[in-house]
Amino acid sequence: MREDYGLILVFLSLSGLIAGGLYAFSYVAAEQKGDREKLTAYECGFDAYEDARSRYDVRFYLVGMLFIVFDLEASFLFPWSIALESVGDVGFWGMIDFLLELCIGYVYVWRVGALDAQ
């Protein structure tokens, strides 16, 4: 049993040595001088026009959360559709109920105006 741990120690030592050697080689081989252009903040290919610490509108987070909720619906639908024969009528109507509640929630969010980009 000690031999197994010895092999793991050799493996970890060898992998650490290789990783450290590659890191040292990249540090030595790369150019280490930075100019003004290289050290500026990069945002989507154009210069930043606002402070990065500005406040976001709450609707940004609301749309993000709504996307996650409605995206999770798909993760429930795929396994359900594959196991549709084995879940029977109870599983079928349970998913129909889930989809109906989800649609009611979507219509509510739409009517309230949470998806409007104002």
User: Measured between alpha carbons, how far is residue 58 from residues 4, 15, 65, 69 in Å?
Assistant: 55, 47, 11, 17
The tens-digit pLDDT sequence of the chain (118 residues) is 677 788 899 999 999 999 999 999 998 888 777 777 666 666 565 655 666 667 767 777 777 888 888 888 878 888 888 888 898 899 999 999 988 998 898 888 888 887 776 5
For the chain, list the domains and their CATH numbers.
Answer: 2-112 (1.20.58.1610)
